[in-house]
Each structure stands twice: as structure tokens, then as C-alpha cells.
Chains A and B, each alone.
Chain A
């Protein structure tokens, strides 16, 4: 059974996330900076009564940040107990990818050791035209692995 994915753009790359993990997508009107956080943390936003940290995916991927545009989106993703927003250049497409369409990423892709790309897929763009989308490793992006594994439960 093929699964639904949300497609988003960062710089020239097209990435996908499992739609089941996406809570909502919002346009981006700025975030409250939190001093002392890594540079890729864009800050905090309110979404439907919740305070959610937002990661600037450009900065996270080692690219330079850009001024938010009308296309900029925050994709709010839930992973376990954490809810984090990803600030991306645009996000407006949903697609189906059959499981067999996903394959391991080639070497050197996804920031090498960082492993931000979990797998890649070739999907039809139009008749006879294919494009490559990258399934991101959300846990890796939000830095799931902490120094003290159960810190958040203290």
C-alpha cells in the first residue's frame, strides 16, 4: 500500500515527510528567538494554543538562511512526545509513494555523517519525466538523540 507524503522544498532540493506525522502547515510570520539555542533554531511560534519550536531547515542543512517569503511554510510535525515545526521554502504538494519506490540514499547525500536523508525515491513528474525526492530523517533533524536519554521525563 503506497503511503502519502508531504513534499517540501529547501533550496533546490525536494524533500518528503510522511503525511501521517504532519499535524498542520502554516505560513510563517516570524518566531520569537530564544537566546542560547543553536543557530538553526528559528525560535518559538504559537500554533493553535501550543508553543512550538521551529527549526530553520536551511540552517540545519548547512545552507544560508533566507528572508521568509509568502511561500515559506512551517510544517508542524509530531514525533513521539515532541512537536516541532520545520521552516521550509515552500510546501504545497502531497504525493503517494509505494514502499518499493524508496531506496537507500547514495553516498555523500544528506550531509554525510548527519544522515538527514533516510531514503530517496524517483517519482513521475509528468509523462516520461522523473524527479528525485528525498525522505528526510525527522528525528535526526530535531536532534532526538540527547546526551541523557530520558532527560525530558525528569
Chain B
């Protein structure tokens, strides 16, 4: 601290911002793909994508991460071209951009774990550069597609107008209106259609056409309206009293390979819009700080309540005062709720990346897979979200990779060729979220798993879950490309349990599997030292500990009247300061009083050293508050799981030092 420039702090900021822009880029690229499948451009998403990558490039240049700068730059170049071509992107370009985002994501993650950052993959840069050249070679990205009859009726100026309009990002469309006496009776004539369409589209030309006379076209006459617009086919068709299928696109691009019948679910994925409006980015640490300060208010409230009770006990009428204290308690509670809400992120945002992941897996495994996400409006603490996401990704990987059968096998089983992965989420009770990850694949074979683990066949799904979460168990003989490595089911289970959650399983052979993760909506995570004292392991937040020192018995000074209820007080010299030393085991009435080490804490300027048996390590722990009054004691702020399945107490040594100094009654020896 105190440095004018702290690189690590700067890097933390970079990571947060880069992640955010990557997430936005993913959303926008998916939106581009959705449009692509509909045969449309999405100039807005292309522009947003361009901006995000530009920012990522700039940020990476500032912190000197060249590989990211290179990839972002190559992608930016492609996107600039696409932007000039009104958002036109080929399928190839889409794939290359996707690979680019993945490459950047990998490197950002490497940075966040302090792993070395790989150089930019040359094939990727080549692929991106190649796209650029193709586009340079054919500057006319848009061509009009008009049938000969129609083309003959348009002037060169009119054609140019359509072409320019299409190039600038609007769509050039043809919609036909067939007049009839019945329609005229309803007030729908070519004049009214012209007016209606004119309200949202630029009408380039109305071409009368002679068509075969029929019941719907008794006059044998139709009008082709050629328009430029941003409006949807639906709106246009409605205005012309016809069906959206009868609206034709008059220019090339996108039409290649587009399936007009595909009604992709992806429309729901287009959620990034507007969500970021009016949002301030705040470091979680600042919110934690606010919570910390709030806990002081809570203590004040208890003291107030106690003082009021004392007054009442003396026979004072405390009527109004009591009411005020109660009201104050409510306000403090509300304030706490408000701060906790500020830490929440929408689960839908967390799951933004899932369709992209499934898409990649689907490609790698050559299994068509549809993903359905139903996250509703549920929200989750940022810290929980960050910890649970890798578990979700792993379960999705397993689903696509192992559970969903190959298309041929599915056909044989009478299942739809396209597999289904569903991610659902809802708030189960006041402080719990239930996340479900299901597939319609082959289910988990109990016998096979039992055989693999050399254990008896489990009687139910709970027993099966215990088996598959055994460390190191895998049901496949060959590790596959996508999920053969990385997290195993044991780590998924551990991630959930460490959060104070619960993992459960339901599987039906042949029909599919559902994993359910019940997780708390909020948690507190701190960096903590673990240590042993009186043969019991404890943890204490690193931030609360000023120093870990060696205790040199010969150098300890004992003063007069040194015996207290919590044992003997000794004094040690530490850089010119005299620091009292108490044995933590004796404060806690634990057996072993060994104390080769001591933890120094400081409260209101006064230092106090707690003698302990030995240090174990340092790690991030999830603190679960102890709410039951039976176990609410000074000095113990919560409990955590260090992985042995047993609660480990989290100590608040600063609070403990406060309690000890107020309680320093001396006892006769």
C-alpha cells in the first residue's frame, strides 16, 4: 500500500473491465449470428462489438498484454469493414470472430490466475487477416436481386437508391399488395397501404403488375412496393394486408445458407440491450466495507436496547424510547438489505455465455444441441456467481459430451436428433437459489459407474451421486477433447458444498439427467490464515492480522499481577513497542498451551499478540455466519469448510482483543 502506482490493483481493474467487455461482445456476437440465420444484418450489434473490442485493445495496451492487443486489433479490423458494409458479416467471419473472442477470453483468464499469457495464435490472426482481403477484393458487398420483369421497370436511379439504402444498413424489401373489392370495403386500397407503409419506410417505387386473376385477386392486378426500411417483415406485411412470408429481401448477403423457417430461440438471448443503462461499477470490497460499518450500527442498536431495558427495570416509563429503538432496528435491517442487494447480479447475465459454450461443444462433438435457458429475474451475489459458474459449465460440458447421444443413436432411439440442454433457475426460499441443469440424453448407468468405482451398485440417485463425486472417477475410458480434463464431478460437488449449498441428482436411463444445485444467494469470502491452537484448527482473516511472529520464551517479560481469567499475560518487545501476549488456547480453555508463534492484532491503536501452536496456510474461505444464539460468542464470527467436511471456526481476533481488554479482571494465583 501507499505506492503511487500499484500494478496489481490496476490489473484487477483491467480484469473486471475486460471481463465485462468480453461478456458484452459475446452477447453481441450471438445477436449477429441470430440475425445471420434470419438472413439479416445487425449493424448495431456489429458496432457494439467493434466498440467493445476497441476498448479491450486499448486496455490491454495500457497494461502491456500484447497477445490480446494483437487479436483484438485483427478482430477490430474485420469489424470496421463490416461496419462500413452496414453490418455485413459472412459465416466464416463469424466463426473467426468467435475464435478470436475465445482466444482473448483464455488470455484474460490466464492473467487472472497469474498464469503466463500465450502469444496470439498465428493461424487465428491469419484467418482474420484473410477475411479482410476477401472483402477488399470485392468491395461491392451488396447486390440487388430483382426478377427480370421488375428490374426492367426500375430506372438506374431507383436501383442505385435501393442499393445505397441496403449498403447503409437498411433493408431493401419488396412487399406485394393485391387490391380487391372486399379489401376496398375495409378501407384497404393502394393509397391507404402507401400511407401506412410510408409512415415507417421509404417507398422507392410502386410497380403495378398484372397477375393471373383469381378469387383473391379478381382484378388480375397487384402492386409491388419496393421500400427501404428498418422495420420488421411483420410490420410491413401487416401494413400491406399480407403475410410476412410474402415480404422479399431484394439484396444479397445473408440469404446464403439462411433457413427461412428457422425460428431460433436466440431471440431470447438478445437481452444485453438496455441492461447496462444507468449502471455504476463498484468494487465488491467497497460494499463489504459499507457492510462492515453497518455492523457497528447493529452493535449500537443492541447497546441502546440494553440501556432502555435497564431504564425500564428501574421503573422508568420508556414507552416512546422503546418505539424509537425498535424503529431504528428496522431501519438498520433495511439498510443491510439494501447493501446486500447492491451486490446482486442477474442470473440471466451470468448465463449469457452458456449458449456460446453449448455452440462450441456442439461443434466439437458434432452433435446438434439446443439450449434453453430460463433464468427468470433471479439474482445472485456476485461472489457466489463467480464461484458457481465453473460448476455450471462443467455440468453443461458433461451433458453435451457424455449424456447426449450421437444423432444416429438418437434417431435409432426415436428421439429428436437435436439434443436438449436446459438451464433453469428459481429462488427456492428467502436465501436459496435452485439451479437446474438437465439434458435429454442417455442417463447415468448405475451399474457401469459402480463397476468403474469397484463399489456396490447404489440403491438410489443420492447413492449414485456419492459415487460419481468420488475424486478421480470418470465413466469414460478415453478422455474426450472437451471434458476429459478440467473439473471432475468431485470438484463440482466441492464448489457447491464450499458455498454452503447442496448438489442433487435425478437420472432416468434413456431419458436424461438433471443436476440440481441449491446455493445460498449471498456469501462472504475472505482471504484467511489457517492455524492450529490447542489441537483445533481455526481460520482468521488475513486483513485483521498485523503480523505473525515467533515467540521467544526467554525474551518474554512477566509483570506483577499478571493472572487473569483467561490465563497469564506476558509482554514481548516488537520493534520498540511492548506488546501483551495471551495464549489463545487458554483464552478458549483448550488443552494444549504450546505457543511457538503468535498473531498480532491491533484494536484502537493497541496491539495484542495471541500465542498459537502453528500456522497451517493461507487460503480464500467462504464464511458462513453463525446465526443461532447458542453459538453466538465474542471472537467467533462464523464457520467455514476447509474441505474436510467439518465446520472450522472463523475467528474475529480484533473483537476478541476488545472483549479481553474490557474483561481484564485479575485473579489470585
Contacts and interface: CB of A to CB of B under 8 A. Distances in A.
B173 to A, nearest CB: 57
A34 B536 contact: no
Interface in A16-65: 30-38, 41, 43-46, 48-53, 55
Contacts of A34: 626, 631, 633, 636, 649
Contact of B639 (A38, A51, A83): A51
Interface residues of B, number: 38
A38 B628 CA distance: 13
B647 A49 contact: no
B24 interface: no
A146 B629 contact: yes
Nearest to A82: B628
B309 interface: yes
B648 interface: yes
B502 A49 contact: yes
A84 B635 contact: no
A150 interface: yes
A90 B399 CA distance: 43
Contacts of B633: 34-37
A131 interface: no
Given A46-B646, A49-B518, A154-B302, A143 B630 contact: yes
Interface in A65-82: 82
A49 B497 contact: yes
Contacts of B630: 37-38, 41, 53, 55, 84, 142-143
B590 A35 contact: yes
Nearest to B336: A154
Interface in B328-345: 329, 332-333
B500 A53 contact: no
B536 A33 contact: yes
Contacts of A143: 629-630
A108 interface: no
B636 A36 contact: yes
A151 interface: yes
B298 interface: yes
Contacts of B627: 152
Given A37-B631, A51-B626, A143-B629, A154 B649 contact: no
Contacts of B628: 52-53, 82-84
B39 interface: no
Given A35-B633, A41-B630, A146-B629, A154 B332 contact: yes
Nearest to B497: A49
A152 B630 CA distance: 11
B216 interface: no
Contacts of A55: 630
B269 interface: no
Interface residues of A, number: 33
A49 B501 contact: yes
Contacts of B159: none
Contacts of A51: 500, 624, 626, 639, 647
B497 A32 contact: no
A38 B629 CA distance: 11
Nearest to B638: A51
B76 to A, nearest CB: 46
Interface string A71-101: 0000000000011100000000000000000
Contacts of B635: 35-36
A77 to B, nearest CB: 12
A32 B329 contact: no
A44 B625 CA distance: 12
A154 B502 contact: no
Contacts of A84: 628, 630
Contacts of A31: 647
Contacts of B636: 34-36
B461 to A, nearest CB: 15
B641 interface: yes
B194 interface: no
Given A33-B536, A46-B645, A48-B502, A152 B629 contact: yes
Contacts of A46: 641, 645-647
Contacts of A52: 628
A148 B305 contact: yes
B646 A32 contact: yes
Nearest to B639: A51
Interface in B476-525: 496-497, 500-502, 518
A153 interface: yes
Contacts of A48: 502
A16 B629 CA distance: 24
B636 to A, nearest CB: 6
Interface string A115-152: 00000000000000000000000000011001010111
Nearest to B633: A36
A36 B565 CA distance: 13
B81 interface: no
B306 interface: yes
Contacts of A151: 302, 629
A38 B306 CA distance: 22
Interface of A: 30-38, 41, 43-46, 48-53, 55, 82-84, 142-143, 146, 148, 150-154
Given A35-B636, A49-B501, A153-B333, 20 more contacts: A31-B647, A32-B648, A34-B626, A34-B649, A35-B635, A36-B636, A37-B630, A37-B631, A38-B630, A41-B631, A44-B626, A44-B647, A46-B647, A49-B502, A49-B518, A51-B639, A53-B631, A148-B306, A154-B302, A154-B329
12 contacts: A31-B647, A32-B646, A32-B648, A34-B636, A36-B635, A41-B630, A44-B626, A46-B647, A49-B497, A49-B500, A53-B628, A55-B630
